[in-house]
């Protein structure tokens, strides 16, 4: 028995050493490919992790400063849990990785693993390249169905039946809570009826209630056991992000990490809420489904249209990809992806928009003027705006785009090179390297935005003879993976 244990231990150690050797060889090969590029020096085995940790509270500004220092393109050295990266900001380079050579640049496996609990097997976490297990068929199918869901007709429904109602309900609730808080503190109400509240908290509440309603077709408040739904979502999202940037060792130590156990618990709670609605919806007749306009029902309807006639209510006889799309687990992952992606990104945009408006009284005044001139009937009986009226609010739209320019929800985005490649100017991109582009840096680049790139000036969007391309302003991504919910987010 002792000899067997020794042999097993030797084999295990040998495999571990071989894996480490292969990993180091891979990292060094990428490092050789990036040698001609300039970038910040790293610490042996630790790369730039010490600098990241030191600047964790100002990470976007830290990376922005580095990009300025190295001319808008730089390399990042490898470390124990990272293979190295190229940072790009030239629109031509961005177009190359997001469109021209789209199949060669995919979501990094580290990103997919870190956010597995959120995205599961939805199209957000499925890669599209020919080397993928299904050669990208799953991504193409899910994306095709999702594109048919995000139509102008559905945006009209979301705007008039969901966003307007939840905006009013959220403000009414916020006002009531503010009055109660003032009463507890012995403060009198303001004479003009104004009140103070935390805009970040209000924005998060509004976007969660709105996107949940859009996704599932009923208010979150009507579902039992959802008192801590927002907290569970926040923990899952935050911890998955920490896996990517801070706790990159989680795969080795997850079995002794309390945060990993809490992550699994919160994930189960979120999925249970979705399953309750999903299973109920899948049991509804086709006629009933056709009367609904929520994302889940629209997705089920479009998915069934792809199934062969006669098996629309069962995935058993469908083609494998369609059957998978109709499966409850896949549907759940797709809809929860929309909820996770739509909640935080839109809430951040709202928060920063109000932050910027509060700092610029002139902008606030012009918004009010536009609202009053657009809404003919501004009496208390008619305070919400129709879809057509919202589309006329060009200055307010410019305010939103200006907020997104300066404060993008995803300041840095990353792809991974499948094969060796070259950027348009001939710069070598070794296979396996992460290629990071920065909407944050590009939105503050004076070469594109003029002499006042850091100034919040919505008027610039109305003065443009031509809007910047998606590769010059990639806050919503670009190319085949452009954000499907972009227009819905702006409307919301």
Question: Which amino acids are annotated as binding site for heme, given as ranges?
Answer: 483
Crossing angle (nearest 10°) for helices 328-359 and 258-282: 110
- Angle (CA) 26 28 31, round 5°: 115
C-alpha 112/C-alpha 252 separation (Å) is 17
Torsion of CA 462, 464, 465, 468, to 10 degrees: -120
**One-character DSSP codes across 57-74:** GGHHHHHHHHHHHTTT-E
74-76: strand order across its sheet? 74-76, 85-88, 434-437, 413-417, 105-106
Q: Do 443 and 475 contact (CB within 8 A), yes or no?
A: yes
- CB within 8 A of 140, min separation 6: which ones? 128
Which runs of consecutive H residues, i.e. helices, occur in 125-189? 137-149, 152-157, 164-184
Torsion of CA 209, 213, 218, 223, to 10 degrees: -40
Rounded to whole angstroms, what are the CA distances from 430 to 14, 100, 491?
A: 28, 17, 40
Q: Do 406 and 352 contact (CB within 8 A), yes or no?
A: yes
Q: Do 438 and 86 contact (CB within 8 A), yes or no?
A: no
Paired sense of beta strands 85-88 and 434-437, if any: parallel
C-alpha 387/C-alpha 424 separation (Å) is 42
Task: Show binding-site residues.
Answer: 483
C-alpha 28/C-alpha 263 separation (Å) is 34
C-alpha 345/C-alpha 383 separation (Å) is 26
Q: Helix %, strand %, coil % for the chain, to 5?
A: 65, 5, 30
């Amino acid at each position: 028995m002792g000899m067997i244990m020794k042999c097993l231990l030797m084999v295990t150690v040998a495999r571990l050493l071989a894996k480490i050797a292969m990993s180091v060889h891979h990292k060094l090969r990428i490092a050789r490919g990036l040698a001609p590029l300039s970038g910040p020096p790293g610490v042996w085995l630790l790369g730039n992790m010490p600098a990241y940790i030191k600047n964790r509270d100002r990470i976007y500004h830290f990376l922005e400063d580095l990009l300025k220092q190295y001319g808008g393109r730089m390399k990042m050295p490898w470390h124990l849990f990272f293979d190295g990266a190229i940072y790009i900001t030239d629109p031509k380079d961005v177009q190359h990785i997001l469109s021209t050579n789209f199949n060669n640049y995919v979501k990094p496996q580290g990103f997919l693993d870190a956010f597995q609990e959120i995205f599961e097997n939805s199209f957000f976490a499925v890669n599209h390249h020919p080397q993928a297990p299904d050669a990208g068929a799953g991504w193409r199918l899910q994306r095709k169905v999702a594109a048919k869901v995000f139509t102008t007709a559905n945006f009209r429904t979301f705007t008039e039946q969901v966003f307007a109602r939840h905006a009013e309900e959220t403000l009414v609730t916020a006002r009531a809570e503010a009055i109660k808080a003032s009463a507890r503190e012995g403060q009198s109400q303001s004479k003009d009826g104004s009140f103070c509240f935390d805009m970040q908290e209000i924005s998060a509440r509004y976007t969660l209630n709105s996107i949940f309603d859009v996704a599932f077709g009923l208010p979150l408040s009507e579902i039992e056991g959802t008192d801590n739904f927002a907290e569970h979502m926040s923990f899952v999202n935050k911890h998955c992000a920490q896996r990517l940037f801070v706790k990159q060792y989680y795969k080795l130590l997850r079995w002794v990490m309390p945060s990993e156990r809490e992550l699994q618990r919160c994930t189960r709670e979120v999925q249970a809420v979705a399953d309750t609605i999903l299973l109920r919806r899948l049991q509804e007749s086709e006629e009933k489904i056709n009367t609904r306009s929520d994302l889940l029902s629209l997705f089920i309807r479009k998915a069934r249209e792809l199934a062969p006639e006669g098996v629309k209510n069962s995935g058993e006889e469908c083609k494998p990809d369609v059957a998978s799309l109709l499966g409850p687990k896949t549907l759940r992952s797709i809809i929860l992806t929309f909820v996770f992606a739509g909640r935080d990104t839109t809430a951040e945009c709202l928060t920063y928009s109000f932050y910027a408006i509060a700092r610029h009284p002139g902008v606030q005044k012009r918004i009010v003027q536009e609202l009053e001139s657009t809404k003919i009937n501004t009496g208390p009986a008619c305070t919400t705006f129709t879809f057509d009226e919202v589309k006329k609010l060009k200055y307010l739209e410019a305010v939103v785009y200006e907020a997104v320019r300066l404060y993008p929800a995803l300041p840095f985005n990353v792809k991974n090179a499948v094969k060796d490649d070259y950027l348009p100017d001939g710069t070598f991109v070794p296979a396996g390297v992460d290629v990071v582009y920065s909407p944050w840096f590009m939105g503050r680049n004076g070469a594109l935005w003029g002499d006042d790139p850091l100034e919040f000036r919505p008027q610039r969007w109305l003065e443009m003879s031509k809007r910047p391309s998606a590769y010059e302003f990639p806050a919503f991504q670009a190319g085949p993976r452009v954000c499907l919910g972009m227009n819905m987010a702006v409307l919301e």
